[in-house]
Chains A and B, each alone.
Chain A
Amino acid sequence: MDLLLEGFQTALTPTNLLFAVIGVLLGTMVGVLPGIGPAMTVALLLPITYNVSPSSAVIMFAGIYYGGMYGGSTTSILLNTPGESSSVVTAIEGNKMAKVGRASQALATAAIGSFVAGTIGTVLLVLLAPTVADVVVKLGAPSYFAIMLLALFAVTAVLGSSKLRGFVSLFLGLAIGLVGTTTGQARLTFGRPQLADGIDIVVVAVAIFAIGEALWVAAHLRRKPLEIIPVGQPWMSREDWGRSWKPWLRGTAYGFPFGALPAGGAEVPTFLSYITERKLSKRPEEFGKGAIEGVAGPEAANNASAAGTLVPLLAIGLPTTATAAVILLALQSYGIQPGPQLFSAEPELVWGLLASLFVANTLLLVLNLPMAPMWAKLLQIPRPYLYAGILFFASLGAYSVNFAAFDLGLLLVFGLLGLAMRRFGLPVLPLIIGVILGPRLEEQLSQALAISQGDVSTLWGEPVAVVVYLVIVLILVGMVASRLRGGNGPSGPGGDPEAGSDASTDRERLSA
Chain B
Amino acid sequence: MSIVVAYSPDVYGRAALEHGARLAQADDEQLVLVNATRGESLVDRRYAHEDEVAELVGRWQAAGVRIDVRRDLVADVAEAVLDAAEETGARLVVVGVRRRSPVGKALLGSVAQRLILDAECPVLAVKPER
Q: Which residues on A are within 8 Å of B, measured CB to CB?
A: 33-34, 79, 81, 221-228, 376, 379-384
Contact of A380 among B41, B49, B73, B75 (CB under 8 A): B41
B39 touches A225 (CB 8 A): yes
Contacts of B60 in A (CB 8 A): none
Contact of A228 among B40, B43, B73, B75 (CB under 8 A): B43
Contact of B41 among A227, A376, A382 (CB under 8 A): A382
Q: How many angstroms from the CA of A384 to the CA of B75 in the assembled complex?
A: 12
Q: Which residues on B are within 8 Å of A, measured CB to CB?
A: 37-45, 47, 49, 73, 75
Contacts of B73 in A (CB 8 A): 222-224
A382 touches B38 (CB 8 A): yes
A225 touches B44 (CB 8 A): yes
A379 touches B42 (CB 8 A): yes
Instruction: Give the Cβ gap from A216 to chain B, nearest Cβ, in Å.
Output: 15
Q: How many angstroms from the CA of A81 to the CA of B73 in the assembled complex?
A: 20
Q: How many angstroms from the CA of A434 to the CA of B37 in the assembled complex?
A: 42
Contacts of B44 in A (CB 8 A): 225, 380
Known: A34-B42, A383-B42. 11 other contacts (CB 8 A): A79-B42, A79-B43, A223-B39, A224-B37, A224-B39, A224-B73, A225-B44, A226-B43, A381-B41, A382-B38, A384-B40
Contacts of B43 in A (CB 8 A): 79, 225-226, 228, 376, 379-380
**Chain B interface SS verdict (over half):** loop
Instruction: Give the Cβ gap from B39 to chain A, nearest Cβ, in Å.
Output: 4
**Chain A interface SS verdict (over half):** loop
Nearest B-chain residue to A381, judged by Cβ: B41
Known interface pairs A224-B73, A225-B47; A379-B39 also in contact (CB < 8 Å): no
Q: How many angstroms from the CA of A190 to the CA of B50 in the assembled complex?
A: 57
Q: How many angstroms from the CA of A49 to the CA of B38 in the assembled complex?
A: 38
Please list 12 pairs of residues, one from A and one from B, whose beta carbons are closer than 8 Å in the complex, sorted by A's number: A33-B42, A221-B39, A222-B38, A222-B73, A225-B37, A225-B44, A226-B42, A228-B45, A380-B41, A380-B42, A382-B38, A383-B41
Contacts of A383 in B (CB 8 A): 40-42
Instruction: Give the Cβ gap from B113 to chain A, nearest Cβ, in Å.
Output: 19
Instruction: Give the Cβ gap from A313 to chain B, nearest Cβ, in Å.
Output: 32
Q: How many angstroms from the CA of A221 to the CA of B39 in the assembled complex?
A: 7
Nearest A-chain residue to B45, judged by Cβ: A380
Contacts of A33 in B (CB 8 A): 42
Contacts of A225 in B (CB 8 A): 37, 39, 41-44, 47
Nearest B-chain residue to A225, judged by Cβ: B44
Q: How many angstroms from the CA of A114 to the CA of B8 in the assembled complex?
A: 38
Most-contacted residue by chain A among B37, B43, B49, B73 (CB, 10 A) = B43
A81 touches B39 (CB 8 A): no
Q: How many angstroms from the CA of A379 to the CA of B45 in the assembled complex?
A: 10
A227 touches B40 (CB 8 A): no
Nearest A-chain residue to B74, judged by Cβ: A222
Most-contacted residue by chain B among A79, A81, A226 (CB, 10 A) = A226
Q: How many angstroms from the CA of A78 to the CA of B42 in the assembled complex?
A: 12
Q: How many angstroms from the CA of A223 to the CA of B43 in the assembled complex?
A: 10
Q: How many angstroms from the CA of A79 to the CA of B37 in the assembled complex?
A: 18
Contacts of B41 in A (CB 8 A): 225, 379-383
Q: How many angstroms from the CA of A380 to the CA of B38 in the assembled complex?
A: 12
Known interface pairs A223-B73, A224-B73; A382-B40 also in contact (CB < 8 Å): yes
Contacts of B49 in A (CB 8 A): 227
Q: How many angstroms from the CA of A379 to the CA of B40 in the assembled complex?
A: 10
B39 touches A222 (CB 8 A): yes
Instruction: Give the Cβ gap from B117 to chain A, nearest Cβ, in Å.
Output: 23
Q: How many angstroms from the CA of A81 to the CA of B41 in the assembled complex?
A: 13
A222 touches B40 (CB 8 A): yes
Q: How many angstroms from the CA of A33 to the CA of B43 in the assembled complex?
A: 11
Q: How many angstroms from the CA of A461 to the CA of B41 in the assembled complex?
A: 57
Q: How many angstroms from the CA of A380 to the CA of B40 in the assembled complex?
A: 9
Contacts of A228 in B (CB 8 A): 43, 45
Nearest B-chain residue to A32, judged by Cβ: B42
Instruction: Give the Cβ gap from A15 to chain B, nearest Cβ, in Å.
Output: 34
Most-contacted residue by chain A among B44, B49, B75 (CB, 10 A) = B44
